[in-house]
Amino acid sequence: MRAAVLHEIGQDKLEVLDDVEAVGFGPGKVKIRVRATGLCHSDVSAMNGVLPQPAPFIPGHEGAGEILDVGDGVTNVKPGDRVLVCWLPACGACPACKRGQTQLCLAGFMNAGTPNFKRPGGDVFGFAGTGTFTEEVVVDAGCAVPIPDDVPFDIAALIGCGVTTGLGAAINTADVAAGSSVAVIGCGGVGISAIQGARLKGAAQIVAVDPVASRREAALRFGATEAVAPDALGDAKQRITAGEGFDYVFEVVGKSATARTAYETTRRGGTLCIVGAGALDDFLQLNMFELFFDEKKILPSMYGGGDVLTSYERAIALWRAGRIDLESLITHRVQLAEINEALDQMRSGTALRTCIEI
Ligand SMILES: [Zn+2]
Ligand SMILES: [Zn+2]
C-alpha cells in the first residue's frame, strides 16, 4: 500500500512509496483504512528532531477512517465502523486514567518502540504509535474511537488532535473566565482552536498574535477581537490591559523564547497556559523572585488537559450546534501524492490545517 515515509530525522521531504505494509495486527488491535488526515505541527517537529521519534517513520497522528478488521477481544468497534484515530489511547486502569486524566495515560507510549509498518528494506515506525499518512494503519483498539455518521472524516481527523488540544486548553486547563482578557501566541490550527475556546468561555478581549498576516486575518474570523504581529504585542498589552498584562496567555508555539514572552505578557496572578509541544533541550528560564512574587499560574495543557473521549464528544457537540467552526480550519486539501506540498503550506504559515485525503 501507499504511505509517506521519512527515511531519516532531519530530512524535510517525505517519500510516497507503494511498498509499505501495516504490521502488528492481532488480539486487541484494529486495522483502519485511513480516509483523511490533518498535518499537525507535531508531525514536522518529529521530522526535524524536536520531538523524539525513531526513523524511518510515517508521520501523521490526526486521522480518521473506517475499520477494516478487528482482532480477537476487540468489542468497541467492528468492521465498517467510522472512527477517528486517538494517538493517546487510555488504558483505563492506570492511576491517571482512574483519576479521569486520560490525557496523561502513558500506556500508548509503551508501543512507541515497536514498528507499525514494514517495507522490503526493513521496519518502519509510525509517529506517536499511529502514522496516518498511509492507506492503512494497525493500532490498539483504544486508538479507534467511533464517530457519529454526520461527522465527516476531515472534521473527525481534526478533532483527533489539533481541535481537541486547543479547545481543551481554553476550556479545561485555563478555564477562561467570562469577561477576561486573553492573548493567544501562535495561530495555526491549535491556536485558532484555543481562540474559539476562549470565545465560547466568554472572554471579552482575545488578541491573536502571529507573524503571518493570513493567520492574523483568519484569527479575526474565528473570534479574535484583535490580531497583531509579535512585535506589536507589547503595544497591545499596554493599550488593552493598561500595561498590567492579560488575564490569560496561551503559548501555542512550543519554544522557550515565546513562552518567556508569554510569561511577561501575563498579568500578575494571571494564567500562562503552555500548549505548544517543544524540545527536550529548550529550557524556559524564570527567576525565583518573579516566580514567587508575581504569582503567575503556569498551566501546561496536554491534549486538551482533560479526559480525551469527553473532549472529543464536546468538540462534536459544539461543532454540530454551530458554536465552533471546524470547516474553515481546513484551508488546504491535497492528495497523499502531494504530501510535500502540505509540508510547504505548513512551513510557510499559509495553512491553518491542510487535510490530506487518502
Ligand atoms: Zn497533533
Ligand atoms: Zn491509563
Give residue 161 CA to ligand 1 midpoint distance, Å. 5
| Residue 214 contacts residue 238 (beta carbons within 8 Å) | no
State the pLDDT confidence band at 343, using cuts at 50, 70 and 90: very high
Residue 160 CA to ligand 1 center (angstroms) comes to 8
> What's the pLDDT at 192?
98
pLDDT over 80 (residue 111): no
What digits encode the pLDDT tens for the residues 188-246? 999 999 999 999 999 999 999 999 999 999 999 999 999 999 999 999 999 999 999 99
CA of 95 to the centre of ligand 1 (A): 24
Q: What pLDDT is attached to residue 109?
A: 79
Query: Residue 108: its pLDDT value, please?
Result: 81
- Distance, CA of 294 to CA of 342 (rounded, Å): 42
CA of 93 relative to ligand 2 center, distance in Å: 5
Give me ligand 1 centre to Cα 74, in Å: 26
Residue percentage of the chain with pLDDT more than 70: 100
- Under the banding of pLDDT at 50, 70 and 90, the label for residue 164 is very high
User: Could you tell me the distance, in angstroms and rounded to a whole number, from the CA of residue 128 to the centre of ligand 1?
Assistant: 9
Question: Which residues, other chains included, contact 289 with Cβ-Cβ below 8 Å and sequence gap of 6+?
Answer: none
Ligand at shortest distance from the CA of 161: 1
- Residue at grid coordinates 478581549: 205
Q: What is the pLDDT of residues 314-333, one digit of tens each?
A: 999 999 999 999 999 999 99
The pLDDT, as a whole number, for residue 350 is 87
**pLDDT band at 34; cut points 50, 70, 90:** very high
Say what the pLDDT of residue 129 is.
Answer: 87
**Grid cell at residue 302:** 496536554
Q: Which residue has the cell 454540530?
A: 320
Tens of pLDDT, residue by residue over 260-311, are 999 999 999 999 999 999 999 999 999 999 999 999 999 999 999 999 999 9
Strand, coil or helix: 292: helix
pLDDT, tens digit (0-9, with 9 covering 90-100), for 112-151? 788 999 999 899 999 988 999 999 999 999 999 999 999 9
Give the pLDDT confidence score for residue 53 in this predicted structure: 92
Take residue 59 and report the three cell numbers written for it: 508521520
Strand ranges across the sheet with 205-209: 226-228, 205-209, 181-185, 246-251, 266-274, 297-300
- According to DSSP, the β-strands at 205-209 and 226-228 are parallel
At 42 the pLDDT is 93
At 107, the pLDDT band (50, 70, 90 cuts) reads confident
Q: Report the alpha-carbon distance of residue 309 to residue 315 in Å, rounded.
A: 10
State the distance from the centre of ligand 1 to the C-alpha of 78, rounded, in angstroms: 26
CA of 198 to the centre of ligand 2 (A): 29
Give the chain's mean pLDDT.
96
Expressed in angstroms and rounded, the spacing between residue 107 Cα and the centre of ligand 2 is 6
The CA 262 to ligand 1 mean position distance, Å, reads 21
- In the predicted structure, residue 110 carries a pLDDT above the cut 80: no
Global pTM value: 0.95
d(CA 287, ligand 1 centre) in Å: 31
User: What one-character DSSP code corresponds to residue 350?
Assistant: -
Spatial distance between the Cα atoms of 3 and 204, rounded to a whole number of angstroms: 45
pLDDT of residue 121: 86
d(CA 180, CA 204) in angstroms, rounded, equals 5
Structural domains of the chain sorted by starting position, each given as residue range(s) with its CATH number in brackets: 3-161+306-357 (3.90.180.10), 163-300 (3.40.50.720)
